[in-house]
Structure 1
Amino acid sequence: MAAALPQSSLVVSKAHAQSEDGFQSFLNGLRGRAEREGISRATLDRVLPTLTYNARVIELDRAQPGGAPNAPIPAFAPYKARHVDAARINRGRAKYQQLRPQLARIEQETGVPEAIMVAIYGHETNYGAYTGNFDLLRALASLAYEGRRRELFTAEFLAALKMIDQGVPRSRLVGSWAGATGYPQFLPSVYVRLAKDGDGDGFKDIWSSEPDALASIANYFVNAGWRPNVPWGVAVSVPVGLNRSAIASKTSAPRCPRVHDRHSQWKTIAEWRALGITPIGAPVPRDNELASLLEPDGVGQTAYLLTTNYRAILDYNCSNFYALSVGLLADQVSR
């Protein structure tokens, strides 16, 4: 005779069954929208019955930092030490040399610097070393069902189904628990809009073709407004007596305002020089180039003058620490 299950196990099993029932009902309810968006019935019939609820991705999503408005912002220096370290720089330089023919061609076509493409590749997946192993469709469907960001994840789930309709094998759709996939860690909607065939074989393979992944990264930056021949920014020294209240930004960004609120007003490089701000890095943007000032570690530490191309990096991942590290890694890789 089998032993009786503990009461706690019965509660968990019941909750799981309820979640699974609700999940399947949610998926069935998406069929009409999916068909209206052009997703084939064949894909829906082939994929939807294979999906089950993934409680683990919900746990991971709920464990993310909330980013409360008054939460203290940590120092940038420790993040930089982890993400612009000797190992990542050296691997980036090796990739840079290995892929120079493809990188040079893509830069000529798009204006996006070779080193920026490599730095994104390095930051997102450590040059392809880790791209995630979650079943993308299962993860996205579970996140959509959970409901905290239902429309976002529903749209990404449907975009992943569109990828299958476009010929992407189901086996390729693996990645992070939040739905990012491939060497560039594109969300499905980004893949559908911006992925490129960089090697000319007729397939946009961001999972195993580095030329495709790099061409796709470059296309993302073109779409985000990257301006050719303009540095992303430069490290600077700020005089102790700078009147920071006089240069504070008076606007609020509609997207991730906490990130943009740390930036000053826009001034030309020449105007910043006139205020005593001295570049200590290279390359230095032209004197007539507009830039904002960011002091990520506070007064008395290394600061940065940042051009509109820095905002293009923020479009990829809206984090000052991420964008600064991409720019700094790119500078190191190209040396």
Structure 2
Amino acid sequence: MRAQNVPAVPPPPDVVVNPGFSVWLADYARAAKARGLDPAAIATTTGGLSYSPRVVELDRAQPDDSNRTQSQFSDYLSRRLDGSRINRGRALHEDMAAKFAEIEARTGVPANIILGIWGMESSYGVNTGNFDVPRAVASLAYDGRRRELFTKELDASVAIIAKGLARRDELKGSWAGAMGQPQFLPSSYLAYAVDGDGDGHADIWDSKPDVAASIGNYLAKNGWRRGQPWGMRVVVPGNLERWRVRNLVQPDQCVRPMQRHSRWISVGEWKALGLIPMGKPWPADDTLATLVEPDGPGTPAYLTFGNYRALLAYNCSNFYALSVALLGDAIDQPGN
């Protein structure tokens, strides 16, 4: 019994009483059981959850081209492509050279691209997030802007617990529910996480071989093609008539980022239009490429090839995919 005249400890500032959320969570539990999810795992995963207004606030303020908020890619990149991140990526590449060679032999994904994602997602495990993942995805599902997506992620969280793949207290990550060093959503963990160190468990939280192997597996299963580049920076002539290369086909996936791409045109045609490569040789003339100018005409421009779409599959944002690719290029050029 609490002593009289001693005030109760107030809840954390992000905990608010939200009766609507409690009702939604009870409805979710019933529906999840009807979908065949384990009742004990549902109770373990969702017991005591409260609504997080902070998570919803962060969801509505994403600083890239996957959201309505507009910002400059040059600013986004300058905050991420720094010497420390590049050097730590090179050191990790050297330390794990044999493991990266094994992963590339199996998946076709080179070390520098895996490290580009690893570095951008969590700074090689330094920043993995401390949000409770089930609470975060439940709050986002309740909010409704992407209800179907985050209900699926809550289901996946329950499945992770039901299968004994992680303890409930280990489900920590970003405000968007991304977990571990590769920042996998719960559904991505179930689909792509693999055992890279041979201990029989896919540990994306603490095992570096598992992290690297899981990223490689993700990209390979999302279309990465062995031996092909992601793209290259180019100089676009001032007289390019962009309406001639505009993509007239409305994308049905990754819509806002893909609207910034031209139509697919062969490298030979891009050459004829006067584009000039920067820092890399041209690939074969029949290689198909799209032009991306993330900050608009007259700013840094990139031709992207098929493998770039695998990077977009990891995170549907040109800002993100270009940053990963450019970090990977920097890691792969130790002389610079």
What TM-score, normalized by structure 2, do the two folds share?
0.88
User: Structure 1, residues 87-130: CA drift from partner, whole Å, max 9, x if none?
Assistant: 11111111111111111101100011111000000000011101
1:86 paired to 2:83: yes
Going from structure 1 to structure 2, the CA distance change for 1:66 and 1:270 (only over 3 Å counts) comes to closer
Contact 2:62 2:69 in 1 (8 A): no
Aligned to 2:321: 323
| Aligned residue-pair number | 324
CA deviation after TM superposition for structure 1 residue 68, in Å: 10
Runs of 5+ unmatched residues, structure 1 = 3-8
1:142 paired to 2:139: yes
What is the CA–CA distance in structure 2 between the aligned matches of 1:161 and 1:72, rounded to whole Å?
32
Aligned to 1:294: 292
Aligned to 1:101: 98
CA deviation after TM superposition for structure 1 residue 205, in Å: 0.6
Aligned to 1:5: none
Going from structure 1 to structure 2, the CA distance change for 1:61 and 1:236 (only over 3 Å counts) comes to closer
What is the CA–CA distance in structure 2 between the aligned matches of 1:329 and 1:65, rounded to whole Å?
19
CA deviation after TM superposition for structure 1 residue 233, in Å: 0.4
What is the CA–CA distance in structure 2 between the aligned matches of 1:83 and 1:47, rounded to whole Å?
34
Q: 2:43 aligns with which of 34, 42, 45?
A: 45
Contact 2:231 2:308 in 1 (8 A): yes
CA deviation after TM superposition for structure 1 residue 143, in Å: 2.4
CA deviation after TM superposition for structure 1 residue 54, in Å: 2.9
Residue identity over aligned pairs, in percent, reads 48
What is the CA–CA distance in structure 1 between the aligned matches of 2:48 and 2:74, rounded to whole Å?
45
CA deviation after TM superposition for structure 1 residue 228, in Å: 0.9
Aligned to 1:269: 267
User: Structure 1, residues 171-211: CA drift from partner, whole Å, max 9, x if none?
Assistant: 21000111111111111111111111111111111011111
Runs of 5+ unmatched residues, structure 2 = none
Going from structure 1 to structure 2, the CA distance change for 1:283 and 1:166 (only over 3 Å counts) comes to farther
What is the CA–CA distance in structure 2 between the aligned matches of 1:273 and 1:76, rounded to whole Å?
25
What is the CA–CA distance in structure 2 between the aligned matches of 1:297 and 1:94, rounded to whole Å?
32
What is the CA–CA distance in structure 2 between the aligned matches of 1:298 and 1:150, rounded to whole Å?
32
CA deviation after TM superposition for structure 1 residue 158, in Å: 1.2
Aligned to 2:30: 32
What is the CA–CA distance in structure 2 between the aligned matches of 1:275 and 1:73, rounded to whole Å?
29
Aligned to 1:203: 201
What TM-score, normalized by structure 1, do the two folds share?
0.88
CA deviation after TM superposition for structure 1 residue 72, in Å: 8.4
Going from structure 1 to structure 2, the CA distance change for 1:74 and 1:205 (only over 3 Å counts) comes to same
Contact 1:270 1:287 in 2 (8 A): yes
Q: Which runs of 4+ in 1 moved over 4 A?
A: 62-69
What is the CA–CA distance in structure 2 between the aligned matches of 1:123 and 1:65, rounded to whole Å?
14
Structural mapping, 1:69-84, within 5 Å? 73-84=70-81
What is the CA–CA distance in structure 1 between the aligned matches of 2:275 and 2:62, rounded to whole Å?
37
Q: 2:216 aligns with which of 215, 218, 221?
A: 218
Going from structure 1 to structure 2, the CA distance change for 1:276 and 1:190 (only over 3 Å counts) comes to same
Going from structure 1 to structure 2, the CA distance change for 1:174 and 1:241 (only over 3 Å counts) comes to same
Q: Output the amino acid matched with 1:41.
A: P
Contact 1:231 1:284 in 2 (8 A): no
Pairwise CA RMSD: 2.7
Counting helix residues as a fraction of each chain, which structure ranks higher?
A: 1
